């Protein structure tokens, strides 16, 4: 999965899945941009990438702000002259306070759509003109298995990830004539800050967690019960697939949404 010399931007690259993607790209030879709303998180991951021998930089990015998006692209272009790989990873699970609510409210719908759907669109639209001009590029969108099938657990999140899958397909058809590949990854069950929020909410239910397991224990039991391979997925798993999709090995793959979920969804 050689991506040596490619310039890769990872949104939400400061922790969790984003960190795993940044480091996988760096290990395989890419120079990386950690674009994150939290500069401290981004700086730590950029330092890790530099320790792997790659050039790295940070850019403070708020995907809900068009000026911030445009500024990030200008900053990266000034430093590296181009963007070869874009990984749209920035996302949220819910608005603040979700753990205490019985169901999603209007704030959840608005915030999730603004970040998870419009954020992907904003960054893609800011980056794709350069890729079209050079007639090459790779875009990888991080969706979710939640986007594969509706669930009452958190409808706005599932709807947003279905939107990412659909936008991936539309972008793939639009950009194929320019030699740009667009694909999505659908992660399954990973112990990240996002899943910890899920565990805090679901684990508080006596019906779902009669043993009163702590969040991590509740997560592990959920994995063992629901995933055919009976093991959790990791940010490294997602990063390895992202590195493959960013490489020339994937040149004939576009418009696809690939599950990394231990067999939980078979499609």
Q: Which residues are catalytic?
A: 157
Taking the C-alpha atoms of residue 106 and residue 224, their distance in angstroms, rounded to an integer, is 33
Nearest Cα residue to 74 out of 18, 130, 29, 34? 130
For 212, residues 6+ apart whose C-beta sits below 8 A from its C-beta are none
Strands 257-260 and 7-11: unpaired
**Tokens 């950029």, residue located:** 46
Taking the C-alpha atoms of residue 71 and residue 187, their distance in angstroms, rounded to an integer, is 29
User: Taking a C-beta distance cutoff of 8 angstroms, is the pair 194, 215 a contact?
Assistant: no
Q: Which phi and psi angles does 57 have, rounded to 5°? A: -150, 165
For 74, residues 6+ apart whose C-beta sits below 8 A from its C-beta are none
**Mind giving me the DSSP string for 223-246?**
HHHH-TT-S-B-HHHHHHHHHHHH
């Amino acid at each position: 999965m050689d991506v040596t010399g490619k310039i890769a931007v990872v949104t939400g690259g400061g922790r969790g899945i984003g960190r795993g993607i940044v480091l996988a790209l760096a290990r395989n030879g890419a120079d990386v941009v950690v674009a994150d709303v939290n500069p401290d998180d981004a700086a730590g991951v950029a330092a890790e990438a530099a320790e792997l021998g790659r050039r790295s930089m940070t850019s403070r990015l708020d995907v809900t702000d068009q000026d911030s998006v445009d500024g990030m692209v200008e900053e990266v272009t000034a430093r590296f002259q181009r963007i070869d790989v874009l990984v749209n990873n920035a996302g949220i699970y819910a608005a603040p306070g979700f753990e205490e609510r019985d169901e999603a409210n209007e704030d959840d719908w608005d915030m999730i759509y603004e970040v998870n759907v419009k954020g992907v669109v904003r960054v893609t639209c800011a980056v794709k003109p350069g890729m079209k001009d050079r007639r090459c590029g790779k875009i990888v969108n991080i969706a979710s298995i939640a986007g594969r099938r509706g669930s009452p657990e958190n409808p706005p999140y599932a709807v947003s990830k279905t939107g990412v899958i659909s936008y991936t397909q539309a972008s793939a058809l639009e950009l194929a004539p320019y030699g740009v590949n667009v694909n999505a990854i659908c992660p399954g069950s990973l112990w990240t800050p996002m899943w910890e929020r899920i565990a805090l909410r679901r684990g508080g239910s006596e019906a779902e967690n009669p043993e009163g397991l702590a969040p991590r224990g509740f997560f592990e039991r959920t994995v063992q019960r629901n995933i055919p391979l009976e093991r959790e997925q990791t940010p490294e798993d997602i990063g390895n697939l992202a590195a493959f999709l960013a490489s020339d090995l994937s040149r004939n793959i576009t418009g696809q949404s690939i599950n990394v979920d231990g067999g939980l969804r078979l499609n």
